Structure 1
Amino acid sequence: MDASIHSENARLWHPASLDGLELLSARFVDHRFAPHVHDGYVIAVLEAGAERYRYRGEEHLVSAGGLALLNPDEVHTGHKGHDDGWRYRVFYPPAELFQSLLGELDLPSRSAPRFAGSVHRDADLVARLLDLHRHLESGASALQQQTAWRETMLALLQRHAGLGSARAPGLEPLAVGLAKEMLRAQLAEPPSLEVLAAAVNLSPFHFARVFRRATGMPPYAWLKQLRLDQARSLFRLGLAPAAVAVQLGFSDQSHLNRQFKQAYGVTPGEYRQACAR
């Protein structure tokens, strides 16, 4: 039998862009979690296999594509629910992160949110959580990570913790205009969401929602489009893709190539050749 079938691995880390958040990416087969608690929340998304766990006096089974939610200070266990074990991605946010998010939305609560139920099938939210987890693992900018975190957690709390609707964002044209100027001036090293929001005297989440309402996209997506527009201008001047990638803050030339082709249907090299003709 292939020994890799029963191999286990786990990686735990703290994204620098979100103070206090812990993340886990792991595959377990024979590992068994003894009864334990976390002082924060557990948000686990199953990528493959299945996990069984005891929580609030009941046995639960969550399988691939499922979502497991646990509240703070609740005793639980964990072991395989499938012969090949399970692979999952987990968020461990402290209660303070959720309280801060509610404060940014002018939804302060005397008590921390509580998840209703534990195992859920919510395909759209699972996809968003997996995408967020990978962004927090990758070299995505703090602007993108912080915005995606807030938007995804708001959706999670509204669907599974009974959080009401936040007030609609205003127009705030001066704030949006100033933020755009800051992003234009710092293409290579953009400010974080929190720095942008502080500069326009808004809370980070309120600013992100104001910006999306005004432009139709979150700040990091607007920045991406601005970078690609600038890349086209530089290619028309004859600059090489490697130099453009460095100048505009892409992680490398292949990163620029992928985003450019996604947006325009041709590679930077093909675009430069067309301009030369």
Structure 2
Amino acid sequence: MTELAGESIHFWQTPPLTGVELLSARYIEQRFVPHVHDGFVIGMIVDGAQRYRYRGADHLAPRGTLVLINPDEVHTGSKGHDQGWLYRAFYPQNTRLDSLMQELEISTCATHAFSETLYRDPDLVAGFYRLHRLLENGGEALEQQTLWREMMLTLFARHAKLRLPGDAGREPVAIAWAKELLLTHLAAPPSLEALAEAVHLSPFHFARCFRKATGLPPHAWLMQQRIARARALLREGCVPVQVATQLGFADQSHLSRQFKKVYGVGPRAYRDAGAQSPVARGR
């Protein structure tokens, strides 16, 4: 993180999403001269406000708005608030976007997909913010790659002028095979792209079919299996820290948060209650 005169800039990529550059910044006195990007800019104003000129018009993007810039279109940028603006953005390279278009089976050129630049779409902003934080804080490739595709599909479906794919099929054999692979790799699951390749589907198509078949995206389904296995291990007397390590949770607190969301009680309390039960004492 680079800091100067109250400003901060963090620019990075995460291996599961190679080809998507990421920026988290606080700008106060920064002024961007007229310039272009060779790929899309998908930005969120987290706080403050930004002024920018795009397509011959001036725009003010306040907190909670989504800013979309098409490739090769001239734009500027400066503060629209005394305290500047807090900003998070995705810069997907064209090869990454082209790959996604192929998965979506969209043959139309997406270069000028968005006719507007400023969107007030709270659900979409919240989803992209969650994704950006996930990519910043690290996490399993399965979740990162799945959420990226889900958010891009939502963006295209709501605001782009593109023909989108129809409903996902069922693909029962592929889904059953994928479940087996996930169950045998609870602690270190494959990425979405590796999983889809193993069952001979595109990542996007696989993710949609999996959700249709199970009601959950692959990473959420995997978490439910981990929690169920954690419950069984706790009932056998395993301590939470060992359970967390064995099942691939980030740490014991991660296990505790996820376990409580399902069972309403923490893993230690669950284990202790089981140890005090008549069945447990009779072992």
By the TM > 0.5 criterion, same fold?
Answer: yes
CA contact (8 A) 1:23 1:91 kept: yes
> Structure 1 unaligned runs (5+)?
none
When residues 153 and 236 of structure 1 are mapped into structure 2, their CA distance, relative to the original with a 3 A threshold, is same
After TM superposition, the structure 1 = structure 2 runs for residues 2-13 of structure 1, keeping only pairs within 5 Å, are: 7-13=6-12
* Alignment match, 1:63: 62
When residues 232 and 104 of structure 1 are mapped into structure 2, their CA distance, relative to the original with a 3 A threshold, is same
Whole-angstrom distance in 2 between the partners of 1:98 and 1:163: 14
> Structure 2 unaligned runs (5+)?
277-283
Whole-angstrom distance in 2 between the partners of 1:254 and 1:158: 37
After TM superposition, the structure 1 = structure 2 runs for residues 88-237 of structure 1, keeping only pairs within 5 Å, are: 88-110=87-109, 112-237=111-236
* Alignment match, 1:24: 23
Whole-angstrom distance in 1 between the partners of 2:56 and 2:109: 27
- How far apart are residue 109 of structure 1 and its match? 2.3
- How far apart are residue 105 of structure 1 and its match? 2.1
Q: Secondary structure at the match of 2:9?
A: strand
- The alignment-based identity, stated in percent, is 56
The answer to whether the aligner puts 1:73 opposite 2:66 as a matched pair is no
CA contact (8 A) 2:192 2:203 kept: yes
CA contact (8 A) 1:99 1:108 kept: no
- How far apart are residue 193 of structure 1 and its match? 0.3
Worse-matched range after superposition: 95-104 or 63-72: 95-104
Q: Secondary structure at the match of 1:187?
A: coil
Whole-angstrom distance in 2 between the partners of 1:115 and 1:262: 38
After TM superposition, the structure 1 = structure 2 runs for residues 77-88 of structure 1, keeping only pairs within 5 Å, are: 77-88=76-87
Q: Secondary structure at the match of 2:81?
A: coil
After TM superposition, the structure 1 = structure 2 runs for residues 228-267 of structure 1, keeping only pairs within 5 Å, are: 228-267=227-266
1:157-208 per-residue CA deviation (whole Å, 9 max, x = no partner) reads 1212123331211111110011000001111110000000000100000000
Whole-angstrom distance in 1 between the partners of 2:240 and 2:138: 20
* Alignment match, 2:47: 48
Whole-angstrom distance in 2 between the partners of 1:140 and 1:180: 20
Whole-angstrom distance in 2 between the partners of 1:109 and 1:191: 31
Whole-angstrom distance in 2 between the partners of 1:185 and 1:74: 48
- How far apart are residue 108 of structure 1 and its match? 2.3
- How far apart are residue 113 of structure 1 and its match? 4.9
Whole-angstrom distance in 2 between the partners of 1:51 and 1:202: 41
Whole-angstrom distance in 2 between the partners of 1:120 and 1:176: 36
